Amino acid sequence: MRKEYNLIFERSIEGHRAYDLPNIDVPVLDSLIPSEYLSETDIPLPELAEIDVVRHYTNLSRRNFGVDNGFYPLGSCTMKYNPKINEETAKLFNNIHPYADQDCVQGALHIMAHTAEMLAEIAGMDACCLQPAAGAHGELTGIMLIKAYHESRNDFDRKIIIVPDAAHGTNPATAAMAGYKIKEIKSAADGGIDLDALRAAVGPDTAGLMLTNPSTLGLFEKNIIEVARIVHDAGGLLYYDGANLNAVMGIVRPGDMGFDVMHINLHKTFSTPHGGGGPGSGPVAVKEKLIPFLPKPVVKRTENGYVLDYDRPQSIGRVKNFYGNFSVIVRAYTYLLSLGADGIREAAENAVLNANYIRSKLRGVYDIPYDRICMHEFVATPNEKMRANHVTTMDVAKSLIDRGYHPPTIYFPLIVHEAMMIEPTETESKATLDAFIEVMKQLAHEGETNPEALHNAPVTTPIGRPDDVKAARMPIVKFCE
């Protein structure tokens, strides 16, 4: 089973070639560029025949695991099925130049305008900008909008963003990148925001609060109305981290909860594939008071069709080239059109149903630190007997791999020791969930009776557990002959 696989650079044979260009058909002139600007050597790229390139990447793909291979309950990542019709429609726009004249791109602009409107409606916000390229990029944009808002009111003393300890790591990292200091507040015993801690944290220096709701524990913040009131009364704004939006679409809207600005992960909630790390797309939706500050350009409907509006004097400016990850937006648009209002709500309902079903079946088998009705995900840990046998969350995760599953998110949120964050999503069948539950039970049993087997996992994969410490201590980050 264990087998190394040669790098593409190790397959190079001098003189092989896979490319084919038409012959140059204009007169070839010498000395167009002074020699001091020219490289003296060729770029050391590999030389391969076409079939060898095909086999290399085909075989790399066989050493990888995606949602199309099997169940992928990676908490907070919403690994739902990526519909194939989305891939089909996305390709239809491959050949549009971003600086094509606006009368040549009315179809593309329609998609942007309509997607933004639908996302704003789902968010309960007044406008949506599609420019940010990923969730963290959307967060950064959103926090910059909060800053622009305060500055527009000549309020320069708000230097602090409040972040709960259960937050995604991107939240504090984003606030720091936007020039803010971070005040972290501890969660209450029930996993929600500690209102007293929040009251103590807010003040005239509060720029805003960043919150995921449902939280990273998969729990809906019951006191959200009060949370919003405390922050708003202190003059701060509320940022909604949309990573967990899948739980509440069509049921309750962040804008109605009191949030002022949020990002949406199209690559989670709206079914666009994660691509092994990207591209994602992180549109930002805002309440009316933040609209003037949105990144430019903004797509506008006019009597003569759609236009890109650059005349936005209060805009924070651009956050990237062009208009966003357009073909990702096309995929999300296709999904929105496919599902419609009822489908969107049905997706959220069943995401929550599936998570609660697994939770109900694993109760008593694993420890569930916050064992109450959850939203789209919940957190479990190895039980007491397993822990006594030194069976870790890592052992459970690696054993799941041998049984054909992608493990849940592990060791997050940080506030739960040995956390396994399980998010099944709505696109999995009851049969799939039952099979997973059965395997989880078997692993618990094995962990209680024969822990060695778990410590050794995985055994069915191309490599065993890799030495991470060695990788970091002596970094080898490229191939050297």
Partner 1 sequence: MKSYVPHTENERREMLESIGVKSIDELFSDVPASLLLKRRLNIGEGMSEVEIRKAFLELVNKNRTDLKVFRGAGAYNHYIPSLVLELSARSELYTAYTPYQAEMSQGMLQAIFEYQTFICRLTGLDVSNASVYDGATAAAEAMVMMLNATRKKKLLLSAGLHPEVIETVKTYAHSIGVEIVVVPLNEKGMTDIAQLKANAEGFAGLIAQNPNFFGVIEDMKALADCAHELGGLFTAYVNPIALGMLKRPADYGADIAIGDGQPLGVPMSFGGPYFGFMACTNKLIRNLPGRIAGQTEDAEGNRAFVLTLQAREQHIRRDKASSNICSNQMLCAIMASIYMAVMGKHGIKEVAEQCLQKAHYLADGLTQIKGFKLRYASPFFHEFVTDCEYDAEKLNDALKAKGFMGGLPLGRVIKGEHGMLWCVTEMNSRQDIDDLICAVESIVKEGLA
477 binds partner 1 (CB under 8 A): yes
Letters for 383-422 (x = contact with partner 1 by CB under 8 A, - = none) are --------------xx--x----xx-x--x----------
292 binds partner 1 (CB under 8 A): no
Q: Supply the DSSP symbol for 36.
A: G
453 binds partner 1 (CB under 8 A): no
Do residues 192 and 222 make contact, with C-beta atoms less than 8 angstroms apart? Answer: yes
233 binds partner 1 (CB under 8 A): no
47 binds partner 1 (CB under 8 A): yes
102, two tokens: 């606006």
In this chain, which stretch among 202-210, 229-237, 325-333, 446-454 interacts with partner 1, using CB under 8 A? 325-333
When the beta carbons of 140 and 454 are compared against partner 1, the nearer one is 140
Considering only residues 141 through 170, tell me which ones interact with partner 1, judged by CB under 8 A: 143-144, 147, 168-170
Query: Which of 358, 378, 377, 355 shows the shortest CA–CA distance to 368?
Result: 378
Least Cβ distance, residue 443 to partner 1 (angstroms): 15
Least Cβ distance, residue 431 to partner 1 (angstroms): 8
Q: How many CB atoms lie within 10 A of CB 19?
A: 7
13 binds partner 1 (CB under 8 A): no
Task: Name residues whose C-beta falls within 8 Å of residue 234's C-beta, 6 or more positions apart in sequence.
Answer: 202, 203, 204, 206
Considering only residues 343 through 362, tell me which ones interact with partner 1, judged by CB under 8 A: 343-347, 349-350, 352-354, 356-357, 359-361
Considering only residues 82 through 121, tell me which ones interact with partner 1, judged by CB under 8 A: 82-83, 85, 87-89, 91-101, 103-108, 110-111, 118, 121
Residue 196 burial by Cβ neighbours in a 10 Å radius (0-12, 13-18, 19+): exposed
When the beta carbons of 101 and 303 are compared against partner 1, the nearer one is 101
- Residues 45, 48, 51, 57, CA torsion sign: negative
Least Cβ distance, residue 6 to partner 1 (angstroms): 10
Phi-psi label, residue 422: left if phi above 0, alpha if psi -120 to 50, beta otherwise: beta
Sheet holding 378-380, edge to edge: 378-380, 420-422, 409-410
When the beta carbons of 203 and 250 are compared against partner 1, the nearer one is 250
Facing residues of 206 across strands? 160
Do residues 164 and 215 make contact, with C-beta atoms less than 8 angstroms apart? Answer: yes
